Amino acid sequence: MPTAPLAGSPAPLTALIDVARVEREYYARRPDPDNPAERVAFGTSGHRGSSLAGSFNEAHVAAIAQAVCDYRRANGVDGVLYLGNDTHALSAPALRTALEVLAANGVEVVIDRDTEHGRERSDRYTPTPAISRAILVRNAGRTTRLADGIVVTPSHNPPEHGGIKYNPPHGGPAETDVTRWIEERANHYLHDGFRDVRRTPYEKALRAATTHVEDLMQAYVRDLGNVIDMDAIRAAKLALAVDPLGGAAARYWDAINDLYGLDIEVVNPVIDPRFAFMTLDHDGVIRMDCSSPYAMARLVRLKDRYRVAFANDPDADRHGIVTPSAGLMNPNHYRNRQNRRFERADRPRRPRLRPASP
């Protein structure tokens, strides 16, 4: 694959998005339902696109949220729906749109909030694994009133992109038959002029009796100790570092350090919807792909300072691993190598967290 001249270099000013324009186009631009490039199209459990290209706009999110409500009713999913978003510029506006539709449909929605300090939504982002965990915990032992979730994220896609994905009651990404159903229903609403899309103003949706808040971050962080040997990590006294790549997991690492007494250095705590701190990917585009040596160039340059360094993509369902000897490792190769090492040593395997989606 050919690489751009600036691949792996710090993003120049010319590569940064105009956040105000990206948000303005989200509300102002109306997609053409007869143009395949502007229709709802689900990939890995979600629809992604750019407000500037007419492929991710308010109309898409409202139609998808209504389609999810319809899918839930048609399939007897009537428990709470966990709703979260990442740090992309379009994620907060899209979360507001989704909540307006969900509240108007009477869906019980849980959003993340710091219940101890009363901080507002703008201070909190929700990684995909936290939504998945909340769904699984809520549904444990249940056969009725099952929970599901929506995560507003375009994953590692460029800063001007937005995305929205649905996680059914099993907590992982929705299967193809589910996403096809939602996609077709949402495109019906686009064609039909939104006549049957229910919606209520955002402030009213926030105050609705069906909208609830939970501290999803602390619940997730506390649960990590049940699947990861934190005592072993702490006792090893390894030099560890993480780069959240400006994503939803940024505050989680501080919480993990505080609760378990770890000393994982967060080398980049910055949240910036332009992702101006990134190095350009192979094609000269800003892309928070933690499997790309170009996007991970900053962390790779620090490899000799830490025994292990790692990164998450913006919704934290992907990881990249950097070591002094190998530089950026393929995460799947790392997992397989670790499994073989445990098998050779005849040691029992500890359960480990798996990403909610590939």
Q: Is 155 considered catalytic here?
A: yes
* Cβ atoms of 279 and 10 closer than 8 Å: yes
Q: Give the span between the Cα atoms of 208 and 246, in whole angstroms.
A: 31
**Which of 50, 55, 91, 155 is labelled catalytic?**
155
Q: Give the span between the Cα atoms of 196 and 309, in whole angstroms.
A: 49
Kindly list the catalytic residues: 155
